[in-house]
């Protein structure tokens, strides 16, 4: 009997592990291809950092796929949430081929959806209608803008994504003047700040400025840099416009807001104090894309 038990022990252990794993909610993260200079748009390093921060969090399993859309996109099936951190516009991985339709099928099943930084930008012709539905808002060219500036988030709303996030100030390429659903239906603004006049130092352009946003900044209108939505299909969406500079993930409050957002769209209970994680300088140096050996750039004044 002892010999038989020993023979079957590996099988029993495997079944136990599979049972525990099957109970976890899968969060699938897609990192875009290498982009920009060192320390900027570090999609792979950023998502692997989030995976590390969420390691051991009960009830979830975080998977990271790099270099854009996964070669075998069956990995998306059954995901509680899909998170995309990538370049946007016409090069957005979600807009290639039939990817938008495949995401749409997941959304109908109530899958959560989160987009970070440039990934909040589809095109007007393809993706905008879907992103307004799935995320509640998105970047729209010739309307939204992408200056680099210091956003001062003085207050946080009552929302699970804001749990444990303290007021903070950070210099990043914060997009604003986003396109939101008509009437802001189901949309909750999370990180709000007033852009200074210097954000309008650039000439008008598809990402740089336009009469409407200039008037809004001149009035001192508060703008949203992160938001959440609850969809009619039962799913949730989260948009975050910062994240241009990789080193900013070292800020405890910015990182916590995004980690909270990832849990929330996966319908995982966000702890009362938010997701606690520790990131040191050496963590931010891991998994960076090879970009010619150049040193990370410092934040530019008010332009991309």
Q: How far is CA 280 from CA 54, 164, 248, in A?
A: 15, 19, 12
Cβ–Cβ under 8 Å, residues 275 and 260: yes
The whole-angstrom separation of Cα 260 and Cα 164 is 9
The whole-model pTM stands at: 0.90
Please indicate whether residue 304 or residue 106 has the higher confidence score (pLDDT): 106
pLDDT of residue 16: 29
Q: What is the pLDDT of residues 181-222, one digit of tens each?
A: 999 999 999 999 999 999 999 999 999 999 999 999 999 999
Cβ–Cβ under 8 Å, residues 296 and 246: yes
Cβ–Cβ under 8 Å, residues 139 and 120: yes
CB atoms within 10 A of CB 189: 19
Q: Tell me what the mean pLDDT of segment 280-296 comes to.
A: 83
Please indicate whether residue 21 or residue 212 has the higher confidence score (pLDDT): 212
Q: What is the pLDDT of residues 4-19, one digit of tens each?
A: 433 433 333 333 233 3
pLDDT of residue 3: 42
The whole-angstrom separation of Cα 176 and Cα 105 is 29
The whole-angstrom separation of Cα 141 and Cα 92 is 14
The whole-angstrom separation of Cα 199 and Cα 301 is 9
Q: Tell me what the mean pLDDT of segment 219-244 comes to.
A: 97
Cβ–Cβ under 8 Å, residues 35 and 291: no
What does pLDDT average to over the chain?
Answer: 90
Please indicate whether residue 253 or residue 292 has the higher confidence score (pLDDT): 253
CB atoms within 10 A of CB 290: 7
**Axis-axis angle for helices 252-265, 43-54 (nearest 10):** 80
pLDDT of residue 23: 67
Of the candidates 222, 297, 249, the residue with the CA atom closest to the CA atom of residue 50: 249
Extract the runs of DSSP E, i.e. beta strands, from the chain. Answer: 25-31, 60-65, 81-85, 112-116, 137-138, 148-153, 168-173, 179-180, 187-193, 223-230, 236-240
Q: Tell me what the mean pLDDT of segment 99-111 comes to.
A: 97
Q: For 259, phi and psi rounded to 5 degrees?
A: -65, -40
Q: Please list, in sequence order, all residues whose beta carbon lies within 8 angstroms of the beta carbon of residue 283, skipping any fewer than 6 positions away.
A: 49, 52, 250
Report which DSSP code applies to 121: -
Cβ–Cβ under 8 Å, residues 27 and 47: no
Retrieve residue 251's tokens. Answer: 């800020």
CATH 3.30.750.210 fits 25-284, yes or no: no
Residue 302 clears pLDDT 70, i.e. is over it: no
Residue 72 clears pLDDT 70, i.e. is over it: yes
Q: Tell me what the mean pLDDT of segment 282-290 comes to.
A: 95
The whole-angstrom separation of Cα 228 and Cα 264 is 9
How many Å separate Cα 203 from the centre of its chain?
Answer: 28
Spans of all domains in the chain: 25-284
CB atoms within 10 A of CB 13: 10
pLDDT of residue 303: 35
Q: What is the pLDDT of residues 249-260, one digit of tens each?
A: 999 999 999 999
CB atoms within 10 A of CB 114: 27
Cβ–Cβ under 8 Å, residues 137 and 227: yes
Cβ–Cβ under 8 Å, residues 281 and 244: no
């Amino acid at each position: 009997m002892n010999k038989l038990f020993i023979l079957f022990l590996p099988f029993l252990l495997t079944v136990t592990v599979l049972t525990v794993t099957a109970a976890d909610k899968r969060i699938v993260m897609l990192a875009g291809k290498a982009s920009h200079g060192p320390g900027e748009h570090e999609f792979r390093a950023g998502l692997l950092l989030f995976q590390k921060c969420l390691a051991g969090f009960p009830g979830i399993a975080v998977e990271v796929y790099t270099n854009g859309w996964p070669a075998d996109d069956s990995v998306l099936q059954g995901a509680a949430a899909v998170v995309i951190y990538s370049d946007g516009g016409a090069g957005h991985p979600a807009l290639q081929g039939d990817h938008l339709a495949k995401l749409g099928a997941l959304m109908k099943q109530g899958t959560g959806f989160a987009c970070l930084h440039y990934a909040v930008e589809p095109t007007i012709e393809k993706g905008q209608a879907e992103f307004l539905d799935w995320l509640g808002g998105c970047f729209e060219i010739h309307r939204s803008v992408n200056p680099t500036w210091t956003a001062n988030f003085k207050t946080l709303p009552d929302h699970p994504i804001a749990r444990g996030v303290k007021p903070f100030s950070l210099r990043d390429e914060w997009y604003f003047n986003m396109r939101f659903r008509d009437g802001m239906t189901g949309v909750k603004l999370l990180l709000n700040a007033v852009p200074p006049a210097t954000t309008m130092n650039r000439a008008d352009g598809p990402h740089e400025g336009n009469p409407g946003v200039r008037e809004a900044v001149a009035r001192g209108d508060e703008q949203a840099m992160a938001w959440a939505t609850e969809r009619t299909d039962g799913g949730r969406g989260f948009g975050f416009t910062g994240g241009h500079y990789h080193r900013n993930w070292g800020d405890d409050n910015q990182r916590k807001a995004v980690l909270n957002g990832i849990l929330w769209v996966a319908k995982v209970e966000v702890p009362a104090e938010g997701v606690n994680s520790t990131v040191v300088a050496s963590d931010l140096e891991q998994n960076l894309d090879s970009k010619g050996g150049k040193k990370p750039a410092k934040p530019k004044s008010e332009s991309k």
